[in-house]
A and B are shown apart, each in its own frame.
Chain A
């Protein structure tokens, strides 16, 4: 894990396919980039099979563009829609059994600290709401209780998207879905609040309708996790396929959610507040 992994042997430079040459010469590895630079550089995310208007793919795009050191980052995922784009992106990626992501990330982070004691290696969990709030809730909470220095990012589309539209713990109460025809019977699980009481030192709740904010909080969360403790970012990534809205309305739906269940929220400890003043 270093920028050498993306440095071709000179003799092989010419035979690399174009997207790899672009990644080397115009990617975010040698020249640091951010969400503000989107459209001007070769991004880590590649072509992917997500549905048109997918909020998850946009969330991944924004999060990957915000990595402070992509060459020293390891993204940990789990089955779900997020897997499709993440497994095709040009960043170290580890998939896990469903829900195990924070336990695997813990092991990877500890191993990387032993292997590279003098370098920051960012371990970032990036999974859907099913992976965090339902199937992986216990392992996620325990990683926070243990104060593991990893960043957890939830791409919350409020549904199990790629399996046909089952309700998830993060679906809104009353939401009618393909596999929840009478509507969801209980409230959205307050994972954001649970993160604060479980030991996260920093948390932010945003939507893809505000790309700059997503970029800023993801970057902050990763930098804070390096130094202080576990961090959590919850991004609303609406799903046109299962929520039955036209693909060009994703941002509109996300904006509407900002007035309701996805108003901007942030929490941080005093130590984090002091740290943020100095970066």
Chain B
């Protein structure tokens, strides 16, 4: 059920950007995705994410603690799938190892922090980014800051219910779905899209 026509597009939305949820954007159900605030099928969402990534000048993956650290069985396979996807696209990887506020500031060249994600995006001139393995509450904060202060197109690969504040959000992401994304990327590249 779509309840809003609000478009979640790349910013800068402004210093105090409204949260997409506040503007009536709702999360997708299982089997669905979110594209710029509208609910679509998961396949459409995946196609859009890959299309944006392979047409980007500087696409970057931001893997969070849930895939960076080997905290439970199965993480290693997921991490390998993320690396394979980023290689297929030709994207860089900048890690988000944890969520601690950094003092005096982060080194934006080598890491991203959810408290100031805009610094990393500005410094590296990132035009499309992917959040994967970031706990939802910090992803929500970071995605909102990015939309508020940068023109970066955000894609979230979420293991739970997705994120309204990213431009494309795929929910229930797992190793299999990441491999599907890789396959879509290969096919699109082969078609020269």
- Residues of chain A at the chain B interface (Cβ within 8 Å): 2, 4-12, 15-18, 20, 46-49, 87-90
Contact = CB atoms under 8 A, between A and B. Distances in A.
Contact of B95 (A2, A17, A87, A88): A17
Interface stretch (B46-54, B66-74, B145-153, B166-174): B66-74
Give the residue among B93, B102, B103 with the most A Cβ atoms within 10 A. B103
Interface string B68-101: 1111100110011001000000000111011011
A9 B73 CA distance: 11
Given A17-B97, A20-B97, A49-B103, A9 B79 contact: yes
A79 to B, nearest CB: 15
B76 A9 contact: yes
A117 to B, nearest CB: 18
B26 to A, nearest CB: 31
A90 B97 CA distance: 11
Contacts of A49: 103-104
Contacts of B21: none
B131 to A, nearest CB: 15
B107 interface: yes
Scoring A10, A17, A47 by chain B CB atoms within 10 A of each residue's CB, the highest score goes to: A17
Contacts of A10: 70, 76
A211 B90 CA distance: 51
Contact of A4 (B67, B70, B100, B103): B70
A7 B97 contact: no
B110 interface: yes
A17 B71 contact: no
Nearest to A13: B68
Given A15-B93, A15-B95, A9 B103 contact: no
Given A15-B93, A17-B110, A88 B101 contact: yes
B68 A9 contact: yes
